[in-house]
Structure 1
């Protein structure tokens, strides 16, 4: 499921500042990167299954491995994990309403923090 129009897809920021803000909202980058791309995931364990709110981005300058990169974020996605195959982000997935509401609230809070960070720069 895509969360269109959140404003997050318009954000471009320094990788180190981005890592700090994303972590403060429960997103983990861990080893989900290569030299040109990053992926931040927030995990939700629920009775209905395991879900991930994912925000990806790509380097417009520098590279992620050197920790000196400027990252353009992309449209947030919500996916459901299926063992052992992985996460499905398709529109045909069924997501609990409480999860969608929680994800929207998280994205709103994240957007506020990202806007404050970009205003400082």
Structure 2
């Protein structure tokens, strides 16, 4: 499900400050990148059995190379997904999410966006 009104949509920023801000907000990029795209995930535990929620922020390079670290990234609308063990994460609009989880996701994204503000092109 898309998380709108966070300010991330269509933001353009250099990769290095983006990595720094997202890491400080506890979003993990890890191995989720290629030469043209980046993906940051934030894991939210759940009291439900075998269910974990993930906030996902994705972007793609307008110029440069992610591998070299010189990319300029355009961010997409963040997503929230529900991981079902053992099948995987579902980001569909038909998924349901607890209100508290959605509020937490929105708050985390708005905080990260505020910290990213000085670096936006």
Number of the residue aligned with 2:2: 2
CA-atom RMSD in angstroms: 1.2
What SS does structure 1 have at the residue aligned with 2:42? Answer: strand
SS at match of 1:9: coil
1 or 2, which has the higher strand percentage? 1
Q: Are positions 1:102 and 2:108 aligned together?
A: no
1:39 matched to 2:39? The reply is yes
5+ residue gaps, structure 1: none
Alignment correspondent of 1:65: 67
- Provide the TM-score with structure 1 as the length reference: 0.93
Contact 1:29 1:40 in 2 (8 A): yes
Query: Structure 1 segments of 4 or more deviating over 6 A?
Result: none
Q: Which has the higher helix share?
A: 1
Gaps of 5+ in 2: none
For residue 91 of structure 1, what is the aligned residue in structure 2?
A: 93
